[in-house]
Amino acid sequence: MIDILFYYVFYSSAVLFYGIGFRRAAALSVSSFDKSVFRPALRCGFAALASTFLTALITEKLFSPLGIAELFPLPAFFILAAVAAGTGIVLPAKAVLQTKEFAVSYLIVLLALFESSRLSDAVFTAASCMLSFVFVIPVLSAVRYRIDIARSKNEKAARGMLIMIVSAILIIACSAWNVSWLNDYFVR
């Protein structure tokens, strides 16, 4: 289980490598961390975890015995819509936030279900993907702050491009250890 955590949080971050919610994470890195950030994150996380659990359970108990396990994305969509509507009643939010949260949650559910073989792995993968947001948002916030300090106030047009370049450098740095010429395999 710990290998799943490290894989989806650090090495193959759901935000950086898969691009799930990267624009949302970049947008959240601008705002201060208050109720307006935590309430949508809590809704998104709960909806993704609950939907992953229910969809994996239905796929394992109902679809797999029937031989139609490949059809799980459609029930996942409907289950997530029901869970998101239920959390929308408890924690109300704007409609624009709900669509962004829904897209991020649905992609996390699909990633968790495609990459896992057991129910526990699916839920743990979804939780790891949500945890990757916790680590990426402060990094993007620090990058954005550093770019704002280094640049003059009238040159904000290319700030988004610089954030993308720094994100590409982070991705390359995370996966550079797996390059074959850095390994000592050919030396042996």
pLDDT of residue 50: 93
pLDDT of residue 29: 62
CA–CA distance, 42 with 172 (Å, rounded to integer):
30
Let me know how long the chain is.
188
30-44, 81-95, 161-175: which range is least confident on average? Answer: 30-44
pLDDT of residue 96: 47
pLDDT of residue 78: 94
Q: Which residue bears the tokens 């982070």?
A: 170
Q: pLDDT (tens digit, 9 = 90+) per residue, 14-58?
A: 777 777 777 777 666 665 555 566 677 778 888 899 999 999 999
20 three-class SS: coil
